[in-house]
Amino acid sequence: MTTILREIGMIARALDSISNIEFKELNMTKGQYLYLIRIYEHPGIIQEKVAEMLMVDRTTAARAVQKLQQQGFIEKRDDATNKKIKKLYVTEKGAAVYPYLKRENDYSDDVALEGFTIKEKQLLQDMLEKMRHQVKAEWDFVKKGNKRQY
């Protein structure tokens, strides 16, 4: 039995836990920083797309977005052509914390990849992207109410 996914899971949980502790002073917990980063990097994105990017259900995304909005990190604006569509943007407050979030992400990358050659980093990036695409296909399948056969 391979333990690759266990290793990936442990790394992800450890880094998430570190971030939650370090971002507590911003009153940002439970991965809310991930939403803020995606919204900052994709101004005007809709909530459903953020949920897809993070591979979370709509309810989870809605809670995180609502909390960030209540805290003044992001705002929803009506779409110019379709008032039913709400686009997400960071506020001044959100934009002010983005560099801090980015520095933490860059630092965590540096620590996790210390001692890797450029070639190894690229190979790992390519393999993880391939893995993500395969898992996303399964996620989409199950999200639509289907049952996997294993």
Please give the model's pTM, rounded to 2 decimal places: 0.86
Cβ neighbourhood burial of 35 (10 Å; 0-12, 13-18, 19+) = buried
So what's the pLDDT on residue 66?
95
What is the C-alpha separation between 33 and 52, in angstroms, rounded? 16
For residue 124, give both structure tokens.
């790992």
What is the C-alpha separation between 96 and 72, in angstroms, rounded? 11
So what's the pLDDT on residue 31?
84
Three-state secondary structure along 81-123?
CCCCCEEEEECHHHHHHHHHHHHHHHHHHHHHCCCCCHHHHHH
Paired strand residues for 88: 45, 76
What is the C-alpha separation between 1 and 19, in angstroms, rounded? 31
> Can you give the pLDDT of all 150 residues of the chain as single tens digits?
679 999 999 999 999 899 888 888 888 877 899 999 999 999 999 999 999 999 999 999 999 999 999 999 999 999 889 988 999 999 999 999 999 999 999 999 999 999 999 999 999 999 999 999 999 999 999 989 999 998
So what's the pLDDT on residue 1?
63
